[in-house]
Structure 1
Amino acid sequence: MINRKIKPSPLGKIKFSLPGINEFTQKNGLKILFVKKDNLPLVQFLLLCNAGSIFDPEGKIGLSNLTAMTLDEGADEYDALQLSDEIDMLGSHLSIRSGEDNIIISLQTLKENSDRSFELLGKIITQPHFKEEDFQREKRKVLTAILQRKDNPDEVAEHIFEYNLYGNESPYSNLFLGKEKDINSITAEDAKNFYNKLLTAGNSALIVVGDTSKQEIDKLIDKYLSNWKTQVPDINKIPEPQRKGSCIVFCNKENAMQSEIRIGHLASKRNEGNYFAKLLLNTVLGGQFTSRINLNLRENKGYTYGAFSRFNYYKHQAHFYVSTSVSTENTGNAIREILSELKRIGEGVTDDELEFAKSSLIRKFPSNFETYSQVAGNLTGKVIFSLPEDYFNTYIDNLRAVTKDDVNEAAANEIFSEETLIAVVGDKSKVREQLNEFPNSVFVEVDSEGRVGEEG
């Protein structure tokens, strides 16, 4: 009989070992990362093309996303519906999306159908149609999504924060969906040219996880991707954004019952500084339910249902931010409490906080590798940030090795409570006066795209 009143004790130290990552390069320059996982008859393919929205040309913001959306709208002898039906009949799942750094193509298939599924994937990668009617249909979807985004305070807050944080000289300030004016000017020929320039074998990496072998992967590549373009395109250097003083950017949303708040600043990049110390620092500060920020704003003050913080890492840049949504009347109070917590973390963390953060991260780490898609998804970080070969197998040991001094040093070097960008989306008539209590922050009113308007 189990006594439910007694809290179960941990069974001991967590141990984790990911099956070996076999890395090799094909003749066409395509990099392969393969992890054998054969407890289920499945194969997961994940293709990363270095062709995200940061490569959108001036005046064509949203081109990467439109290109990704049109890729599977017909290839070789199949139109869009036929291609979708072929994939469905195999019981396979295909998805294509664009992010800031990459276009990501995901295909999961049964092992017995892996050859045919990969054949279809090869057609999509090497012989997409980009027909005008398909392109215009996808363009209409994007224009609708842009209109819907303007009515979503959460998405508006995210964008006006990053737009003003990175500055319009940085491609990371661009909205990956694109601007309405730019989308209207983009043509199917633009998408085809973007595809021809950036979606090449030499500019991509293929992650394979599942019940297969290196020999089988080599055969698939030889059969279906041997004619894929090999060149590595010339890519412009991403400009470094400049740190700014404290500023409040505000987007008015009349009659809003809540205010969306983002507070943060630029941060060191993924491979700069002590990553594991930064990870533990954020876990204590705002990275879990029991973090300081959430306990303050949710449990103690009752301002919100939840508040969190994170270090957000792109390939070439990074930033730290706090995110929450609060009732309109508590906008100023919530900002004050967040800034207070950012300042207080500089005084250091406690032994108990550090040990709890370590325990939380260590115990949940193995669960990030339960499914084939999870393993493949985690390996994208290895590709994007050129992580060491033993990164995953030494992850837990690296967390355990972090000291309180390491975390406190990270707090001093990575959190700047006096140099924050504060982005707010809310009802100006009810919120503007509350923001007067932050006289050190310049107030700037912006539109839903983050562009400066008149304060009024």
Structure 2
Amino acid sequence: MATQSATKKKPAAPTTSALMLPALHESTTSSGLSVLAAERGPLPLVAMRLVVRAGSAVDPKDKHGLADFTARLMRRGTQKRSADEIDEAIEFVGASFSVGSNEDLLSFFVTTPAEHFPAMIGLLGEIVREPSFPEREVELARERTLAGFANDLDDPSTIVDRAFTRALWGGHPYGHDIGGSSAHVRTFTREDLVRFHGERLGPKVALLSVVGAVDPKLVLDEAEKAFAGWTGGPEAAPRIPELGKMASGRILLVDKPDQTQTQVRIGGPGFRMGHPDYFPSTAMNNVLGGGFTSRLVNEVRVERGLTYGISSYFDMLNVGGVFAISTFTQTERTREMLDVSLAEVAKVREGGISAAELKKAQRYLAGLYPMRTETNESVASVIGDIRVHALGDDWVEKFRERLHAVKPKQTQEVAAKYLFPNPPLIVLLGKASAVKKQLKGLGSVKVVPASDYE
């Protein structure tokens, strides 16, 4: 029997403009799936997001990319319907279905007209509970994926990002590309997918959020029908090990002799999702390189014309994170790009940002945030993230308040902590014969061919 409860939000005070999530109605199905329903109009649409704690971090050691591959194949047939029949059912009612994956999660997204909600949540349950993984569909997907890896060699940005991830995280479960590699994907079999689905996807490690023009009681009743009898998967979320020492103080040079530009990635340790440093770090980084008027953009692009684009960012995952810079430049200006970028980072690390810069960043970020709750899809995603990453149910409501509470001293503290207090890892992709001679004094250099990242 499903259990049900409702958590009501206090109405916002009339003198404030606080963002508020709609009231969340919670339940757990008889199979153990957590369900969050939020009624939200006025459009007659419903968005669903089912998240499963089975991202690429739980890929088998010799099957990198299996989580993503399995999720993509789940809609290609069930015990009751073929891939074409699934597509027809979705298209007939004007709905949409998509799959996403990252290091921590697999996500299944459905949007549907409200009148067809029961049918579409039923189809979602069918796809998640009983995928058939037809042999021919597995073969076709494997061929397409391998062809994609070959094509990736023509995309320098994709290759350098792949190299950066591997070098930075090393042997940690976060240290491989979400899609895997050609060497691993080539070995995937239907049996691998069936095993992964049975062992890693299950109701106890999943969460369903439903937002839109639908009665929460109907959501809870239909979720019980759709996911009754779902078994498999672990009893608790997988334990991803904490990161040890992250790679630093060296240079990986990915050789692609036909390049006239150098792709540049610079990185070091950051912090996990939901860390207390989030708000001061977000404000500080907006000034450094997180916005189009940032210091990095002004110095590197506007003043020196070294690139068309540069950004710095914090990539936050469940058990750790990264602070990084991403850009590109002409081959002959690679060293200048590195020197100027690292100098700007050092200025903020050592001197912080000004009170005026902080206020400007706070206004910008606070003004931008409401877009995170404009649509049913975005609200369903936010609800899922709040619960999966334990951000607290007041995350949206208090976001702008917490952002505006950041003081200059806090931004100075996080700058000193995360802006490369130790020499960073530098990953470059370009013409090695022309780039390597520019790197003297920056650290040990290892040259590898781009083909290593197919």
TM-score normalised to the size of structure 1? 0.92
Matched, 1:253 2:256: yes
129, 146, 151: which is aligned to 1:143? Answer: 146
TM-aligned CA deviation for residue 363 of structure 1: 0.9
Trace 1:331-350 onto structure 2 (pairs within 5 A): 331-346=334-349, 347-350=351-354
Q: CA deviation at 1:24?
A: 3.2
Counterpart among 211, 219, 222 of residue 220 in structure 1:
222
1:434 maps to 2:425: no
Name the SS of the counterpart of 2:186 in structure 1.
helix
Q: Tell me what 2:426 maps to.
A: 422
Task: Give, in whole Å, the separation in 1 of the partners of 2:17 and 2:262.
Answer: 41
Tell me which of 42, 47, 56 is aligned to 2:59. 56
Report the AA paired with residue 432 of structure 2. Answer: K
SS in 1 for 2:38: strand
Say whether the 8 Å CA contact 1:156–1:449 is kept in structure 2: no
Shift in Å at residue 270 of structure 1? 2.4
Structure 1 segment 40-51 matched on structure 2, within 5 A: 40-51=43-54
How many residues get paired? 437
Which amino acid in structure 2 is aligned with residue 162 of structure 1? T
Deviations 1:74-110 (A, max 9, x none): 1132111111111101100001132211111000000
Residue 166 of structure 2: which of 157, 163, 168 is its match?
163
Q: Which runs of 5 or more structure 2 residues have no equivalent in the other structure?
A: 1-14
Q: Which amino acid counterpart does residue 153 of structure 2 have in structure 1?
A: K
In structure 2, how many angstroms separate the alpha carbons of the residues matched to 1:318 and 1:124?
32
Cα–Cα, structure 1 residues 303 and 14, in superposed 2: closer, same or farther, change >3 Å? farther
Maintained 8 Å contact 1:52/1:99: yes
Is the contact between residue 198 and residue 233 of structure 1 (CA under 8 Å) also seen in structure 2? Answer: no
CA contact (8 A) 1:28 1:230 kept: no
How is 1:31-430 mapped onto 2 (pairs within 5 angstroms)? 31-167=34-170, 169-229=171-231, 232-233=234-235, 235-346=238-349, 347-430=351-434
CA contact (8 A) 1:197 1:233 kept: no
Shift of residue 448, structure 1, vs aligned partner: 3.6
SS of 2:396's equivalent? coil
Q: 1:374 to 1:435 in 2, by over 3 A?
A: same
Please give the TM-score of this superposition, normalised by the length of structure 2.
Answer: 0.92
- AA aligned opposite 1:79: S
How far off its partner does 1:232 sit? 2.9
| Runs of 4+ deviating beyond 4 Å | none
Inter-partner Cα distance in structure 2 for 1:77 and 1:133? 17
CA distance in 1, matches of 2:209, 2:64: 28
Query: CA–CA distance in 2 between the matches of 1:94 and 1:392?
Result: 26
1:28 equivalent to 2:38? Answer no
2:353 partner letter: V
SS at 1:325 equivalent: strand
Letter in 1 for 2:198: N
1:217 deviates by 1.2
Distance 1:58 1:231 in 2: 18
**1:251-288 CA distance string (max 9 Å, x none):** 01112121111111011222334210011111111110
Kindly state the Cα deviation for residue 237 of structure 1 after the two structures are TM-superposed.
3.9
**Counterpart amino acid of residue 51 in structure 2:** L
